Amino acid sequence: MTEPVEAVGGGVFYGDLAPWWPLISSPDEHVEEAAFAAELLAGAEPPTRTVLELGSGGGSNAHHLQQRFAMTLVDLSEQMLAVSRELNPDCEHLAGDMRTLRLGRTFDAVFVHDAIEYMTTEDDLRAAVATAYVHCRPGGVAVLVPDDIAENFEPGTEHGGRDAADGRGVRYLSWSTDPDPSDSTTTTEYAFLLRSPDGSVRVAHDTHVLGLFPRETWLRVLADAGFEARSVAEVTTDDRLPREFFVGRRPAETSSS
């Protein structure tokens, strides 16, 4: 049994608003990044068949990755898992915290997308990387994808959303800042306009505190866990700074003479 830990992430975003997730972050927005991640995940020896995704959220990346791999999806939010189960019914879904999860089995690869940013301290980050390591078989790989690292974070805003055939619609605005550059966190404020099928509109607000670490910290934490670590610059056609994908290979076991 593991000790309970304080939940991380946005309570409104991943709780009450979970049913709206396909209109906030549609799977078709993740085609390119999922394809790039898949090539890195495929780098295990022998070749990758099974992938554990930690912090899988609504399953938008898994929707594409399952075309190549058998996916086991883990998230802290039961509401988000319900959304993912509807989108990805053939994937295994489990509730759990990436800092403490222990399934007692290993996978060819472990994937952690931007949910890794909810690790706001180095201790949290180390705990999540340790979870990735113990679930990664010898010769397997782990791929972690923060949206930002300290070297490339820029304050800014984003907006998006879409409409559904049933009359529902979402529009959102996000505003990311670094209130205290001396610490390891940033803050993103989200504002949502949510239109119901009857035409009524309500407003929701959520605040997210996210971890921000330099490249050296990412590589050091991966190496300290036992991974052979490197960073890979994302290849993207999106109009934004490419992200850094952190890749850890768990060394293969060598037979003793």
pLDDT tens-digit readout, 36-63: 999 999 988 899 999 999 999 999 999 9
| CA–CA distance, 8 with 99 (Å, rounded to integer) | 10
- In Å, how far from its chain's centre is CA 104? 22
- CA torsion 128→133→134→136, rounded to 10°? 120
pTM: 0.92
Could you tell me the two tokens for 71? Answer: 């996916």
CATH superfamily of 156-210: CAC2371-like domains (2.20.130.10)
Of the pLDDT bands very low, low, confident and very high (cuts 50, 70, 90), residue 255 is low
Query: Taking the domains of the chain in order of start, what are their residue ranges?
Result: 17-150+213-249, 156-210
pLDDT tens-digit readout, 150-200: 999 999 999 999 999 999 999 999 999 999 999 999 999 999 999 999 999
Could you tell me the two tokens for 208? Answer: 């997210």
Of the pLDDT bands very low, low, confident and very high (cuts 50, 70, 90), residue 3 is very low
Task: Please provide the CATH number assigned to the domain covering 17-150+213-249.
Answer: 3.40.50.150
Distance between start and end Cα atoms, the chain: 37
Q: State the amino acid at position 240 in one-letter form.
A: R
HSE value, Cβ hemisphere, 13 Å, CA-based, for 146: 27
- Please answer whether residues 149 and 244 qualify as being in contact, where contact means their C-beta atoms are separated by less than 8 angstroms: yes
Query: Are domains 17-150+213-249 and 156-210 of this chain identical in fold?
Result: no
- CA torsion 218→175→241→140, rounded to 10°? 40
At residue 19, does pLDDT exceed 90? yes
Residue 199: the pLDDT is 96
Q: What angle do CA 16, 21, 24 make, to 5 degrees?
A: 120
